[in-house]
Amino acid sequence: MHWKTATTTTLHTLVSKSRRGLITDVDGTISPIVDHPDAAQVTPRCRELLDALHDHLALVAVISGRAAADVQARVGLPALVYVGNHGLEQWVAGQVQIAPDAARFRPAIQAALDAVRPHAARVPGMLVEDKGATASVHYRQTADPAAVAADFAAILGAITAQHGLKLFQGRMVFELRPPIQSNKGTAFYHLVQQYRLDAAVYLGDDTTDADALRMARQLRQAGTCYALGLGVASDHTPSVVRDSADLMINGVQDVEAFLSWLLNACMASST
């Protein structure tokens, strides 16, 4: 169901609450997907709307698989809350705070990266990214991403198992993470609790966002918080995003339209 069909029903209920929050993913949500992760840029309109929404919501936050410092610099709005590495770190008072449980796995991450790099170096287009608390192996720019994904699933699976880590797969990327119950869903839950939200909306487009989309539904059904999960569609949207979302948004430009509607609705509700 497209979000515009719910402006007088579920979204109206969300806006009517007193302590509302907006939590969003970055890549593929407020920033178009690009071939190289370093080239990703938040659209000026999304940045403008997020900044404006901060004055009307109890929380505007960003949760990303990127490192917290990376996402904070990329979005560039000082007043927002930034959670990086799928909830393993947060940007607080101008610096990164890594969860203590995650920090102790840093040597394992480094050792796994040392084992991964020789394999990646043999495949043109592979990009290995050290994100501190986690690591990513990007294969979007390889000649045959499907074949690379099949080959590297086994290679990276063996390496992560050897070093006591967990392997996750997203859109054209593998994630090496500590064996800690931390994902975008748990990060979303903690923000709802920390900021005492009685309503919240989450926006995301990828497999890793499905945890937060499902968490929104769980919070709503439990009566903890009136939360809604909005999946962002693209040409390669994973089916789990559509299955987990309450409503859908048609790409980054439609995210801008939704944020604009939300801003206007919040402004109207306060008059």
**Where residue 59 falls among pLDDT bands split at 50, 70, 90?**
very high
**CATH architecture classification, 102-177:** 2-Layer Sandwich (3.30)
pLDDT given at position 138? 94
Rg of the chain taking only CA atoms, in angstroms: 18
What span, in angstroms and rounded, lies between the C-alpha atoms of 11 and 70?
Answer: 31
pLDDT surpasses 70 at 173: yes
- Overall average pLDDT of the 105-116 stretch: 96
pLDDT given at position 257? 98
- Overall average pLDDT of the 112-116 stretch: 97
Query: Which of 37, 178, 5 shows the shortest CA–CA distance to 108?
Result: 178
H helix or E strand, kind and range, residue 129: strand 127-130
What span, in angstroms and rounded, lies between the C-alpha atoms of 140 and 106?
Answer: 26
Query: Which of 203, 212, 213, 200 shows the shortest CA–CA distance to 243?
Result: 213
| Residue indicated by tokens 């392997």 | 167
Mean pLDDT over each residue of the chain, to the nearest integer: 94
pLDDT given at position 269? 86
pLDDT surpasses 90 at 145: yes
pLDDT given at position 100? 83
**Where residue 197 falls among pLDDT bands split at 50, 70, 90?**
very high
Cβ–Cβ under 8 Å, residues 29 and 45:
no
| Residue indicated by tokens 């659209």 | 43
pLDDT surpasses 90 at 236: no
pLDDT surpasses 90 at 183: yes
Q: What stretches of the chain adopt beta strand conformation (E)?
A: 20-24, 59-63, 81-84, 89-92, 95-98, 127-130, 135-138, 166-170, 173-177, 199-204, 226-232, 247-249
Q: Tell which wins on pLDDT, 67 or 189.
A: 189
Angle ∠(183,53,45) on CA atoms, nearest 5: 90
**Where residue 39 falls among pLDDT bands split at 50, 70, 90?**
confident
Count CB-CB contacts under 10 A for residue 170. 18
pLDDT given at position 101? 87
Choose the weakest-confidence range: 8-22, 49-63, 171-185, 200-214. Answer: 171-185
Cβ–Cβ under 8 Å, residues 192 and 177:
no
Count CB-CB contacts under 10 A for residue 23. 26
Residues 6+ away with beta carbon under 8 Å from 33: 27, 40, 171, 234
246 is catalytic: no
Instruction: Determine the distance from the C-alpha atom of residue 82 to the mean position of all C-alpha atoms in its chain, rounded to a whole number.
Output: 10
Active-site residue, selected from the candidate residues 25, 206, 209, 211: 25
Angle ∠(191,194,197) on CA atoms, nearest 5: 75
Segments making up each domain of the chain, as ranges: 17-99+182-269, 102-177
What span, in angstroms and rounded, lies between the C-alpha atoms of 48 and 39?
Answer: 20
What span, in angstroms and rounded, lies between the C-alpha atoms of 86 and 107?
Answer: 19
**Where residue 271 falls among pLDDT bands split at 50, 70, 90?**
low
Choose the weakest-confidence range: 144-148, 233-237, 241-245. Answer: 233-237
Q: What stretches of 93-159 adopt beta strand conformation (E)?
A: 95-98, 127-130, 135-138
**Domain 17-99+182-269 fold:** Rossmann fold (3.40.50)
What span, in angstroms and rounded, lies between the C-alpha atoms of 83 and 72?
Answer: 9
Phi/psi at 134 (nearest 5 deg)? -140, 180
pLDDT given at position 230? 98
